């Protein structure tokens, strides 16, 4: 069962950087590195705790702590700016992550990967949830677990040396293109249409790319022609579990920030948090987040043992997308007018997390899969 861990420590309010903080850190980490007190208990490692978590070992926690430092220093301080600009410096960030070894966690060591098992990919996915937007983790997830698995499994050695090695090193930025033959009628052979203006995930730029009369030498074909969808399908479960792991920390962070805000925001002379509808609702949401944690770890553990986890992964993905919407919606309500501004995390996550019910397998697809396993699909 999921981690008993320590009794809930004293609720810690927002933190303020110490006076001594080094200039770069002060500038960097001062900007809300993602509190997640409750999450920290689960995450903050310890000789006491290693062994208490049934999926994560001490090494997993060490990996997460190291990644957290990169997030706190090189990513979070700039997220607001990137969201406004509608893009982030992917080459720079991926190089930092690549050098630290975070882009090839479960990839083969012959190509620069770490050769670790999927539980480490999940640990990384979970920690990336502390980035204060959805766009950047999504881009990293595409690099590590969407654009590369088929290449790793079915690509030739030559292809892997040319493309997988630099992807793991962070020297190139990978993207995923889902092709639709017959779409577009532009003159140029490879044409990038104008950037799409999206509701959320604003720091990740998305556009339509048109390929017309583009010649692709056959050696660049991964595996067999026509098998593209099948290859992608083989790693759907990993992709979905990754997405679930990645949404947990944002949800916990939103709950904690909502608690902090409503504790000090007063209406009719009392904190909003004191209204039973508020603290009871937060308790409900926290319960559901915990349940999702359990399902995730259970599913990953079964997957590592070689089981077919399609049903559980689909359930987890379905729940994650829906819970993220309910949770951000409820919390945004408690933030009142402030929640409606673009100056707070809750509204950004409200927009960003909406994609989860759509991408990597829409809710309706998840439901169909579950029905298939339940034998109820007509």
Partner 1 sequence: MAALRALVGVKRVIDYAVKVRVRPDGGGVVTDGVKHSMNPFCEIALEEAVRLRERNLLQEVVVVSCGPPQCQETIRTALAMGADRGVHVEIPAPEYEHFGPLQVAKILAALAKREGVSLVLLGKQAIDDDCNQTGQMTAALLDWPQGTFASALALAGDQLTVEREIDGGLENIRLRLPALVTADLRLNEPRYATLPNIMKAKKKKIEVLKASDLGVDLSSRLGVQRVEEPPQRQAGLKVETVEDLVGKLKEGGLV
Residues 35/253, Cβ–Cβ less than 8 Å = yes
Question: Which of these ranges, 86-94, 97-105, 251-259, 311-319, lies near partner 1 under the rule CB under 8 A?
Answer: 97-105
231 and 12 Cβ atoms separated by less than 8 Å: no
Query: Among all chains, which residue has been given the structure tokens 């080094």?
Result: 22
The nearer residue to partner 1, 22 or 27, going by C-beta atoms, is 22
Nearer to partner 1, 46 or 359 (CB): 46
Q: With respect to partner 1, which residue has the nearer C-beta, 12 or 377?
A: 12
DSSP 119-174: HHHHHHHHHHTTSSSSHHHHHHHHHHHTSSHHHHHHS-HHHIIIIIHHHHHTSS--
User: φ, ψ for residue 270 (rounded to 5)?
Assistant: -135, 150
Q: Of these residues, 83, 127, 238, 239, which one is catalytic?
A: 239
Site string for partner 1, 159-188 (x = CB under 8 A): ------------------------------
Decide if 239 is catalytic.
Answer: yes
Nearer to partner 1, 99 or 189 (CB): 99
Least distance from partner 1 to the Cβ atom of residue 8, Å: 8
Is residue 264 near partner 1 by the rule CB under 8 A? no
Name the pairing type of β-strands 266-267 and 209-211: unpaired
CA dist 90 and 261 (Å) reads 32
Phi, psi of 190 (to 5 degrees): -125, 115
For the bound state, the minimum distance from the C-beta of residue 40 to partner 1, rounded and expressed in Å, comes to: 5
The binder of partner 1 chosen from 102, 261, 297, 334 (CB under 8 A): 102
CB of 306 to partner 1, least distance (A): 23
Strand ranges (E), the chain: 190-192, 209-211, 266-267, 270-271
Question: CB of residue 19 vs partner 1: minimum separation in angstroms?
Answer: 9
User: Given the structure tokens 């997993």, which residue do they identify?
Assistant: 60
Q: Is 312 in the site for partner 1 (CB under 8 A)?
A: no
Nearer to partner 1, 58 or 265 (CB): 58
Give least dist CB 6 to partner 1, A: 5
Residues ≥6 apart with Cβ < 8 Å to 37: 9, 11, 12, 256
User: Is the Cβ of residue 44 or residue 172 nearer to partner 1 in the bound state?
Assistant: 44
Q: Which residue of 27, 54, 81, 99 would you call a contact of partner 1, by CB under 8 A?
A: 99
For residue 13, state whether it binds partner 1 (rule: CB under 8 A). Answer: yes
Instruction: Tell me the closest approach of the beta carbon of residue 143 to partner 1, in angstroms.
Output: 15
| Residues in 33-92 at the binding interface with partner 1, rule: CB under 8 A | 33, 40-41, 44-48, 58-59, 62-63, 65-66, 69-70
Residue 333 neighbours by CB under 8 Å, 6+ apart: 339
Per-residue b or e along 77-106, where b marks 16 or more CB atoms closer than 10 Å to that residue's CB: bbbbebbeeeebebeebbbbbbeebbbbbb
Kindly write down the DSSP assignment for every residue of 173-209, as one continuous string: --------TT----SSSEEEPPPP--SS-TTS----E
- Residues touching partner 1: how many (CB under 8 A)? 42
CB of 12 to partner 1, least distance (A): 6
* Nearest CB to partner 1, comparing residues 126 and 352: 126
- Residues marked active site are found at 239
Q: Which residues bind partner 1 (CB under 8 A)?
A: 6-10, 12-18, 20-25, 29, 33, 40-41, 44-48, 58-59, 62-63, 65-66, 69-70, 99-102, 105, 114, 116
């Amino acid at each position: 069962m999921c981690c008993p861990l320590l009794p809930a420590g004293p609720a810690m309010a927002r933190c303020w950087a110490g006076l001594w903080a080094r200039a770069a850190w002060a500038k960097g980490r001062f900007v809300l590195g993602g509190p997640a007190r409750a999450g920290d208990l689960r995450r903050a490692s310890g000789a006491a705790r290693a062994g208490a978590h049934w999926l994560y070992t001490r090494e997993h926690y060490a990996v997460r702590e190291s990644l957290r430092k990169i997030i706190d220093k090189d990513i979070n301080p700039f997220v607001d700016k990137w969201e406004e600009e509608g893009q982030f410096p992917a080459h720079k960030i991926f190089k930092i992550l690549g050098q630290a070894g975070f882009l090839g966690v479960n990839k083969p060591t012959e190509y620069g990967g770490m050769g670790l098992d999927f539980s480490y990919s999940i640990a990384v996915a979970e920690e990336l949830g502390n980035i204060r937007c959805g766009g950047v983790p999504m881009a990293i997830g595409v690099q590590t677990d969407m654009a590369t698995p088929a290449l790793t499994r079915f690509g030739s050695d030559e292809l892997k040396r040319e493309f997988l090695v630099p992807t793991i090193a962070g020297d190139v930025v990978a993207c995923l293109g889902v092709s639709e033959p017959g779409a577009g009628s532009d003159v140029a052979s490879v044409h990038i249409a104008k950037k799409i203006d999206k509701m959320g995930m604003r720091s990740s730029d998305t556009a339509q790319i048109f390929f017309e009369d583009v010649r692709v030498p056959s050696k660049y074909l991964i595996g067999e022609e026509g098998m593209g969808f099948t290859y992608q399908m083989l790693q759907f479960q990993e992709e979905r579990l990754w997405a679930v792991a990645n949404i947990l920390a944002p949800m916990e962070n939103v709950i904690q920030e909502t608690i902090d805000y409503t504790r000090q925001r007063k209406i009719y002379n009392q904190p909003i948090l004191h209204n039973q509808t508020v603290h009871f609702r937060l308790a409900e949401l926290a319960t559901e987040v915990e349940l999702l944690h359990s399902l995730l770890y259970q599913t990953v553990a079964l997957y590592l043992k070689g089981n077919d986890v399609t049903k559980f992964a689909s359930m987890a993905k379905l729940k994650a997308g829906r819970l993220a919407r309910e949770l951000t919606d409820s919390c945004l309500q408690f933030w009142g007018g402030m929640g409606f501004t673009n100056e707070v995390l809750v509204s950004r996550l409200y927009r960003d997390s909406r994609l989860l019910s759509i991408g990597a397998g829409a809710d309706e697809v998840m439901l169909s899969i579950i029905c298939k396993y339940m034998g109820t699909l007509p």
